[in-house]
């Protein structure tokens, strides 16, 4: 008995581009806030990364 192939396919070019843009946006926001206050920048970075890692389900957005 062979196990099924459970590997995920590579992300499409559009998904990679979106991820890159999100990463750049987070970096710019954190850099801008860091110029004002370093502790606030860490909080903002944590919230933004958490939001990217766990996006709001599309069924909630109407």
Q: What's the confidence (pLDDT) of residue 44?
A: 82
pTM of the model: 0.51
Q: What's the confidence (pLDDT) of residue 7?
A: 53
Q: What's the confidence (pLDDT) of residue 59?
A: 65
From residue 14, how far is each of 18, 34, 42, 59 by CA, in Å? 6, 30, 29, 22
Q: What's the confidence (pLDDT) of residue 34?
A: 81
Walking along the chain (62 residues) 10 residues at a time, the average pLDDT comes out as 54 78 82 84 82 70 58
């Amino acid at each position: 008995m062979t196990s099924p192939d459970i590997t995920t396919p590579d992300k499409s070019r559009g998904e990679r581009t979106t991820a890159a843009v999100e990463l750049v946006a987070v970096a710019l926001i954190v850099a801008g806030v860091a110029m004002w206050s370093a502790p606030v920048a860490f909080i903002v970075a944590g919230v933004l990364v958490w939001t990217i890692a766990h996006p709001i389900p599309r069924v909630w957005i109407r």
